[in-house]
């Protein structure tokens, strides 16, 4: 584990201490858990993006067919 020093305003610090006490955890644990969740969400997004771009492209229409006319798609 690595110790980190942070600076927050008085109101935020007071709220965080109360929240941690109500949830039977330490302020340090609360912040560590939140940072880990953010890191995992970001990594998950990056992995999903890499999987998406690794797929080969595909045609949106059948071979030997035409795309619909613009007028048919956007009739008013």
Give kind and range of the element (H or E) at residue 4: none
Over residues 2-41, the pLDDT tens digits come to: 889 999 999 999 999 999 999 999 999 999 999 999 999 9
> Cα separation of 41 and 47, whole Å?
10
Q: Which pTM was predicted? A: 0.60
Inter-axis angle of helices 27-54 and 10-22, to 10 degrees? 90
Domain ranges of the chain: 10-73
């Amino acid at each position: 584990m690595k110790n980190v020093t942070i600076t927050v305003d008085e109101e935020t610090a007071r709220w965080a201490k109360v929240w941690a006490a109500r949830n039977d955890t330490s302020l340090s644990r609360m912040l560590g858990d939140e940072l880990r969740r953010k890191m995992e969400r970001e990594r998950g997004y990056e992995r999903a993006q890499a999987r998406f771009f690794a797929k080969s492209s595909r045609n949106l229409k059948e071979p030997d067919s035409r795309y619909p006319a613009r007028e048919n798609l956007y009739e008013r």
